[in-house]
Amino acid sequence: MAEFISIFETKSQRVKGLALHPTRPWLLVSLYSGGIQLWDYRVRTLIDRFDEHDGPVRTVAFHPTQPMFVSGGDDNRVKVWNYKERRCLFTMTDHTDYVRTAQFHPEQPWILTCSDDKTIRIWDWQSRKCISTMIGHSHYVMSASFHPTEDLVVSASLDQTVRIWDISGLRKKGLLPQGPIDDATRLQNEIFGSGDAVVKDVLEGHERGVNWAAFHPTSPLIISGADDRQLKLWRFNENKAWEFDTLRGHFNNVSCCLFHPHAELILSNSEDKTLRVWDLQKREAILTHSLDTDRFWFMTAHPRLSYFAAAHDSGLVVFKLQRERPPTTTHGNSLYYVKDRYLRSYNLENGKDTPLVALKSGKYSALARSLAYSPRDHAMLVTFSQSSGEDASQKLRYELYKLAKKGASSSEGAKPLTSGIALSVAWVKRSRIALLGKANVIHVVDLSGEVVKQITPPIAVTKLLPAPTDCLLMRGEDKVVLYDVQQERVLAEMKVSGVISAIWQEHASENSSGPMVALIARGSVIVCSRRLQRLVHVPETLRVKSAVWDEQGILLYSTPAHIKYCIPAGSSGSGGDFGIVRTIDRVVYLAKAFTKKARIFLLDRTAKVRGVTIDTTEYLFKRALSLKRFDEVLRMVRDKKLIGTAIVGYLQRAGYPELALHFVNDPLTRFNLSLQCNHSNNINVAKEAAIALNDKNVWKQLGQEALVQGHGQVVEKSYQQTLDFEKLSFFYTACGNRKSLSKMLSIAESKRNDLHAQFYNSLLLGDIESRVRLLERSSQLQLAYLTATTHGLTELAAGIKDKLQNEHDRKLAANGQESSPIELPSPSPTAKLMLPPLPVLPLVGEASNWPRTRIARGPFDSVVRTKKSVESASTSRLNDSSLAAPDDDVEVGGAWGDDDDLDLSGDDSAAGDDGLAPGEEDNEGDGWGEEDELDLDELIEDEGPAVAAVATNIALPPAGPPPTETWARNSPLAADQIAAGRFDQAMRLLNEQIGAVNFAPLKPHFLSIYRARVALLPMSSGLSATRSFIDRNRTAEEFHPRESLPRLPTSLQSCIDSLSSGYAAFTGGKFTEALDIFRSILHAIPLVVVQTSKEIAEIQELIKIAREYILGLVTELKRKEAIAAGKDGSRIVELAAYFTHCQLQSKHQQLALKSAMTAAAKTKNFGLAEDFARRLLDLHPSAKLQAHCDKVLKLCEQRGRQDSMELAYDSRNPFVLCAGTLKPIYQGNPHEECPYCGASFIPAAKGRPCTICRLSSIGADATGLLSMPPKSQRR
């Protein structure tokens, strides 16, 4: 049974020779036009060209193992090439006429060639010499080839003979040392042939010239083809050779013939434009493939695979004679497939392979084509190719088998429930099968084969495809139709041609309305909804071999070169995303995909089941992004290594450039991405990239973007880098920076010598004298005089007038006239002085960054809310990269001092401690002192006596309540009560909400809020300032006094800005300063008012961050005190270990772990030091710190990982650190918490003030901090 299956075709000029590479999917092609091409037939790509022959190239051949090939042509030359180096290594020129064939010996360093000069030559390609010449043919030698295993050569010639040559003498000769061959011996070999290769048999029988002869790979057989249109089979042994059969069928000269390497078949092609396949046993043709206009010239077989290549007048074709795909289907964790004429089951969980049914369908069982499983019937529908040749794809034999239940023995001798022949078959529903018969009629049969229904389809059906229950998917010539069998109506249809198979989802994915279907065509993959609405169309240049759905609704499919993915719910603009999962070196067929396990099961062409681990990162990342699951996206950014320009381009196209910045190091790419970002830090990133690039155009773009966003410092830097002096001068004028503007004037005078720039800068500065002198130097005396007189510079004006008079007198004298007073224009009485306004508040340095509205948050801000996500890639204000931990190249200092350095270069003993950093400073005040008392009588102005009734008939309305009373009534928030002057009420609220008992740290905040409630507007001289209460709810359109609430000076943004300062102090080792900053954040937060629930979440996270850093800083300062006091080393190591369990940013965590690792190593606790070093390596530190950790690990290994001390520390037992005793409270033990900051304490500390926030009572009952006003009062 055979069918012609084309794998690769290409059109070109006449092809004369072909060679298939033994291990790679490569094809060498020699052309009649004189060139050689190297193709990858798997991906259908031209790899290289080789052009050195003069004239047609008739033969090419690969070396079995070396990166070489040989070619021969009509220029009488044999060339040996190296395809890796892409050059010809050497040329052999002993032939005197066309070279017909060339071949490498499978073992020896020999090349066999034959030529129209009637000789056959064997060359040693190592010595580059001809070692044997075989003479005997009396006409052109058309072909010659080595025997695969024996020392024989067969040749065919136009002298109508086939000759078998014995070259065993050549092998023996090669084993002996050989001297140089003299000219006489060489001449004798040319005329009479060498004696080491002799004719063994001469086969005569063809009536015309023989074009080809070839050995059988394993049997003593020879096939030959000749111009007499016949193929002859010859058998040979040690003594003789003889003809034993003739194959007739070609109608013109037979060009080439060969034996199938793995089957009892013969292949031949001819100038009659046909390629024929013959059954070696029956001696009859079983397949004929013909072309319309092209003659076949050559054919070759792959040495290992069942591939063949044939050359014809207008190109070539690579083909095979049998389908190699093993029939498969899956259900649940069971994979069903056919192998060795058995239907087998493979359990994907435990790998158990079980034979189920022996397929005893005679000659058809080897051609099993498909499986279809019905889980309700536990039955398998198997289809077989019914016949060979062109009709093989149209006629199928089907058999239905009932499978044994679990635990039962296999159905070894089971007979099919029913069988028959149809054009196509498919399951319809339980116990019902649809058969496509002749005359375009579909019969629905039961399990016994009885027809229960007959359907006339709405289209001319060519194939039935699987579909949901009670439905059929019908394939027509140019469309597919989803047909409801029960109701006999069309549910949906879609225009598409060439559909081969349909793969349905087992279960609908969460982002779709129902199960989707993938339609596999020859050149594309089309994903549709259950109603055949096209979702994604993926064009493919290679044939799609198989496809499966994973559990998350992602389609995985294979081509000859790749395993790829397709995400139906994409966001790249084409309706879906697709890409490559991995490359493959052989054809595989996907069976089942488990994305959560990153594993896929597949079969190769030998029906061997394999489980392969795949990298699912890329397509899971794209899927999460398309579904807007930004928490998953951020987790994958942190945990996975996503690299490549493809990811960057995808994020850029999808509208997430800020996320793409995480994958880019190239400065230009980072610059372009940062300008596309919509968060406040993008200008800083762009500035860093611009500094690295130092390109004028880059700085120009940065200046424009910074000007739009109001980053004055970056605007100034950009103008300076581009030397745009005019814009820089105007920028200084707008900011009121007269000092820098004066420098611009000085630069224009001393360095640029630009008169225009000097006048421009003096005009912006209002420097009248400089303008006058500049006009005077530029010979514009009249303008200088007018300017001086207009601005009242009488002395300068008099001097200029004298110069004008002198010049006037000289002109009169030159003309012979008498001197007369010069007439100069007088200033206009309506002239306005051109003086710029003096700046009230110059914007210099950071103040030049103009006030900006809050930029809308990106999609990654709202999901970074977990305890350990402080260093995440979100654009959230709490997690902005400007607030992130320092980079590896930032130096740390201060208390991160020499006591944390470990000398690993020499002595094994631990270095001494330096005793750095004093203890924590106590910056608490002494309470509410008299000098800080607030005189409310002075601050609250006297409202004066009540307004008396005017002696008229008009009654004035009574005065309304003051705003402070409205504030107190409208809001239950402590900050608003403070602004209203009700301090006692504010303290009572804070006590109820957070258990506050110590209000001394809040005193500055109380005063700041109270003073900021009123704005004093200066009036004319002699009048007192007007007081105006500032309202935060007042807008241009909607406002009612009853909704009034005070504007507060403390905001969430100010706390976040303080957080950045705290991070910087922590990194710099200024622990006392950092401690004060983080405590100030905790003291400010109870008086912050926000408007959204997202901001509430930010407040809670800010409290947690401040608490963890305060606890860590207190612990580290205590350790520094212990070192300075020379206390017990065990307590020092314990405190260092506790410090590492505070939840800090990644870079800060690295510093804490490095400190603990050093302390443990110095005290010879090598087991503990190794634990810290490994935890530090898990955080991916810098290369320098990683090398330091490696040294510590090596030291710990040398010291046996032993600890010299018993410590109150167990890293494997979860614990929280008591903020009072700085000792661990292990899981399960009772503890108390601060109701505000959440710090943990031992039970004995209940009722004491919290040592972290210094506000609340430990263990107090509290309702929780209230920071958001009632819904009716929100903006």
**Does residue 588 have a pLDDT over 60?**
yes
Task: Using pLDDT thresholds of 50, 70 and 90, give the confidence band for residue 966.
Answer: confident
- What CA–CA distance (Å, rounded) separates 1000 from 993? 17
> Judging by beta carbons within 10 Å of its beta carbon (0-12, 13-18, 19+), is residue 161 exposed, middle or buried?
buried
Task: Using pLDDT thresholds of 50, 70 and 90, give the confidence band for residue 598.
Answer: confident
Tell me which residue of 399, 403, 373, 401 sits closest to 384, measured CA to CA.
399
- What CA–CA distance (Å, rounded) separates 367 from 1179? 56
**Does residue 640 have a pLDDT over 90?**
no
Tell me which residue of 499, 457, 454, 505 sits closest to 478, measured CA to CA.
499
**Angstrom distances, CA of residue 1257 to CA of 614, 761, 1080, 1087, 1218:** 55, 63, 18, 18, 15
- Mean pLDDT for 638-666 is 68
Which tops the pLDDT comparison, 143 or 735?
Answer: 143
Query: Quick check: 803 and 788 in contact, CB under 8 A?
Result: no
pLDDT tens digits for range 284-335: 999 999 998 899 999 999 988 889 999 999 999 999 988 888 899 998 889 9
**Does residue 905 have a pLDDT over 60?**
no
Please work out, in degrees rounded to the nearest 5, the angle formed at the alpha carbon of residue 715 by the alpha carbons of 710 and 719. 155
Query: Quick check: 235 and 242 in contact, CB under 8 A?
Result: yes
- Mean pLDDT for 663-689 is 75
Give the least confident one: 169-178, 192-201, 945-954: 945-954
Tell me which residue of 162, 173, 177 sits closest to 195, measured CA to CA.
173
pLDDT tens digits for range 1088-1125: 988 888 888 899 999 999 999 999 999 999 888 888 88
3-state SS, residue 898: helix
Q: Computed over its alpha carbons, how large is the radius of gyration of the chain? A: 46
Which tops the pLDDT comparison, 814 or 1152?
Answer: 1152
Q: Please give the pLDDT value at position 878.
A: 47
- What CA–CA distance (Å, rounded) separates 449 from 663? 61
- Mean pLDDT for 255-265 is 93
Query: Quick check: 503 and 532 in contact, CB under 8 A?
Result: no
Q: Which residues pair with 1028 in a beta bridge?
A: 1015
**Which position has the token pair 């999609």?**
859
* Sequence-separated (6 or more) residues with CB below 8 Å from residue 1169: 1157, 1160, 1161, 1192, 1195, 1196
User: Quick one: tokens of 1146?
Assistant: 């990644």
Q: Please give the pLDDT value at position 645.
A: 63
- What CA–CA distance (Å, rounded) separates 932 from 40? 87
Q: Which amino acid is at 761?
A: N
Task: Using pLDDT thresholds of 50, 70 and 90, give the confidence band for residue 390.
Answer: very low
**Does residue 757 have a pLDDT over 90?**
no
Q: Please give the pLDDT value at position 259.
A: 95
> Percent of the chain at pLDDT above 90?
32
* Sequence-separated (6 or more) residues with CB below 8 Å from residue 1222: 1114, 1115, 1118, 1135, 1138
**Does residue 1158 have a pLDDT over 60?**
yes
Query: Quick check: 671 and 714 in contact, CB under 8 A?
Result: no
Q: What is the Cα 587 distance to its own chain's centre?
A: 26
Task: Using pLDDT thresholds of 50, 70 and 90, give the confidence band for residue 270.
Answer: very high
pLDDT tens digits for range 119-144: 999 999 999 999 999 999 999 999 99
Q: Please give the pLDDT value at position 1256.
A: 93
Tell me which residue of 378, 368, 374, 314 sits closest to 339, measured CA to CA.
368
**Which position has the token pair 């409208």?**
970
**Does residue 513 have a pLDDT over 80?**
no
Length in residues, the chain: 1275
Quote the DSSP letter at residue 139.
Answer: S
Query: Chain-wide mean pLDDT for the chain?
Result: 81
3-state SS, residue 1219: coil
Question: In 10 A of CB 109, how many CB atoms?
Answer: 15
Query: Angle at which helices 1129-1139 and 1146-1162 pack, to 10 degrees?
Result: 160
- What CA–CA distance (Å, rounded) separates 362 from 341? 10
DSSP 365-434: GGGEEEEEEETTTTEEEEEEE--SGGGTTT-EEEEEEEPPPTTSPPBTTPPPSEEEEESEEEEEETTEEE
- Mean pLDDT for 793-818 is 79
Give the least confident one: 107-111, 223-227, 262-266, 637-641: 637-641
- Where residue 408 falls (left for φ over 0; alpha for ψ -120 to 50; beta otherwise) is beta
Backbone φ and ψ for 146, nearest 5 degrees, come out as -75, 150
* Sequence-separated (6 or more) residues with CB below 8 Å from residue 425: 372, 381, 383, 396, 398, 433, 434, 435, 436, 464
**Does residue 947 have a pLDDT over 90?**
no
Q: Please give the pLDDT value at position 696.
A: 85
- What CA–CA distance (Å, rounded) separates 575 from 590? 24
**Does residue 5 have a pLDDT over 80?**
yes
pLDDT tens digits for range 833-862: 667 776 666 666 665 666 554 454 555 544
pLDDT tens digits for range 526-552: 999 888 888 888 888 888 999 999 988
**Does residue 1023 have a pLDDT over 50?**
yes
Q: Tell me whether strands 489-495 and 99-104 are parallel, antiparallel or unpaired.
A: unpaired
- Mean pLDDT for 451-476 is 90
- Mean pLDDT for 648-674 is 73
Q: DSSP 3-state helix, strand, coil percentages of the chain (rounded to 5)?
A: 30, 25, 45
- What CA–CA distance (Å, rounded) separates 435 from 463? 10
DSSP 954-1020: PPPPPPPPPHHHHHHHH---HHHHHHTT-HHHHHHHHHHHH-B---GGGHHHHHHHHHTTEEEE--S
Query: Quick check: 594 and 600 in contact, CB under 8 A?
Result: yes
Backbone φ and ψ for 231, nearest 5 degrees, come out as -110, 135
**Does residue 387 have a pLDDT over 80?**
no
Query: Quick check: 882 and 897 in contact, CB under 8 A?
Result: no
Instruction: Judge if pTM exceeds 0.75.
Output: no
Task: Using pLDDT thresholds of 50, 70 and 90, give the confidence band for residue 225.
Answer: very high
Give the least confident one: 406-415, 579-588, 1105-1114: 406-415
- What CA–CA distance (Å, rounded) separates 954 from 1267? 46
**Does residue 1025 have a pLDDT over 80?**
no
- Mean pLDDT for 950-973 is 65
Q: Which residues pair with 536 in a beta bridge?
A: 527
Q: Please give the pLDDT value at position 961.
A: 74
**Does residue 892 have a pLDDT over 80?**
no
- Mean pLDDT for 44-53 is 91
> What is the maximal distance between C-alpha atoms in the chain?
152
Q: Please give the pLDDT value at position 572.
A: 41
Which tops the pLDDT comparison, 56 or 744?
Answer: 56
- Mean pLDDT for 571-587 is 73
- Mean pLDDT for 217-231 is 94
Which tops the pLDDT comparison, 1011 or 223?
Answer: 223
**Does residue 1220 have a pLDDT over 80?**
yes
Backbone φ and ψ for 1016, nearest 5 degrees, come out as -100, 120
- Mean pLDDT for 1053-1058 is 88
